[in-house]
Amino acid sequence: MRHDIRLDVIGNTSPFSLMGESSAYMITANDCSYLLECGAPVFPFLGYKGLARIKGIFASHSHEDHKRWFTDIVLFSYYNPFVKRKLRLISSEVILEEFAKNSKGAIERSLSPDSKRIIDIPYPDLVEEINVGPRSKYIINLKGNGDGSFRYQVEDRKGNRIGPDKAKIFINPKANRPRLLFKDDESGEWVEPASYYPFSSRVFYEEDQHTYRDDEAGLTVRAIKSSAWHGVPTIAFKFMTSSTSVVYSADTVYKPSLWKELCEEYRPQRFDSIGREEFERNSIIFGDINDFIERTWSRERYERAMAAYKDAIVIHDVARKDSIVHTDYPDIANASIAKLLLTHNPDNITALNPVLTSGKSIVFSGDEVFEQVKGELYPFDADVYIRHFACNLVGYKKKDGAYKVVSKNGLLGIVGADDPQDGLMRVDLYQDLDGEYFPILEDPRKYYLRRSDGKMEEITMLDNSCKGKTVDNLRGQIKKEV
């Protein structure tokens, strides 16, 4: 249907997965397709025709597990005579800059058609940058001094210099990357504006939100920064049709108690490395900016983050515990999110919400979520979902089920029904094979084999031979117990 959104999972694992996938999805509305991230092997998944019809890439941040195939797609689009176009990259202003910095070395230099000369190919000839989200009112700019030397200075968008009483540039000698420190008018505190203010703030961001619209697809896309807390510049995306809203969280730390602390905790400035008078006087300071940030988040950012997922289906990253820059399962498990799907997952996780895996096709229709399997739409109605490396299982609650779900330190696991641990529920388990559900095989001599006609066969290994029987997909037929 025109107003549905479809998500095809190309890769969904964390960066340290042994499955070697990383993150990439194809999002489609009204037969118009975009890549959402491009860290997983998109070429074998999409093929020539699929790549040729991609209208652009939505990029949440510049970590390699989300952008690993970016330069290859750029070069494919530019050099393939049947495509020969710029690749459209859609993200916030800062993330577009990060992609350009990280990618230019691989794509801006080549050989001439006769292979006799090294030629330069400007980045704008290869990539069409589409900004989504507002621009900042103030930027760090590299200015020439007229004598061949250069200096950093803070400017507004008209090129007017901003003095040290309002903004300062911090350069950590160990990292050599300039960061902006900004004095908030309301509180009088020094903050890092890129972290402190949400996109809705008119103190640091311009009014135009640069919402992305594709009329052919009937698709509107907004950038969300308030809930994305990952270290590197990161944004979430909200994909909307007239009847459906889907939020892709990007990598983040979802932890409302932490978010509240970030906006409430005041940290006095430390003047161990530089005196107070020198700090007040200088526009450029070499040192650790964290010695001088007095508050991490504004109250406005906290409130926006708390409301970011309201009235939307949410695709959220998940980790196990103590992941630092991702969402730990114990923090997301009981979140007040009506429709939640988990992705960017570790190799081994048990969850009460659906866990996406590569190859799945998800359809969002209104406020409903389905998996498309052989042309049929199935709801996610299992009681527990298990991802164990290449094996996917689902569990349905049953009073005398052969297994039970247990909890330890907030993480879930599956044990036999006779295990002495207290269980959250008893379940029967089924193997998820390409979206179809089949009874779990406990006999080591048995395994499932997909036949060329698409049917599933249960194979039993005998001493000198084997035998098989076809088995039916049980998805949609399993009776749930309340």
What's the pLDDT tens digit per position in 182-221?
Answer: 999 999 999 999 999 999 999 999 999 999 999 999 999 9
Residue 296 maps to a domain? no
234 and 374 share one domain: yes
Domain span including residue 180: 138-197+266-291
Q: What is the mean pLDDT of residues 302-315?
A: 97
Percent of the chain with pLDDT strictly greater than 90:
92
373 and 410 share one domain: no
State the pLDDT confidence band at 1, using cuts at 50, 70 and 90. low
Are 312 and 393 contacting, i.e. CB atoms less than 8 angstroms apart? no
Structure tokens at 457: 């066969």
State the pLDDT confidence band at 74, using cuts at 50, 70 and 90. very high
Rg value, the chain, Cα? 26
Residue 256 maps to a domain? no
Residue 419 maps to a domain? yes
Q: What is the C-alpha separation between 28 and 25, in angstroms, rounded?
A: 10
150 and 274 share one domain: yes
419 and 286 share one domain: no
Q: Above 80 in pLDDT, residue 482?
A: no
| Amino acid 479: pLDDT | 86
State how far the alpha carbon of 230 is from the alpha carbons of 226, 234, 299, 436, in Å: 11, 7, 19, 35
pLDDT, tens digit (0-9, with 9 covering 90-100), for 92-149: 999 999 999 999 999 999 999 999 999 999 999 999 999 999 999 999 999 888 898 9
15 and 158 share one domain: no
315 and 395 share one domain: no
**Helices marked H in 308-405:** 329-332
Q: What is the C-alpha separation between 468 and 291, in angstroms, rounded?
A: 68
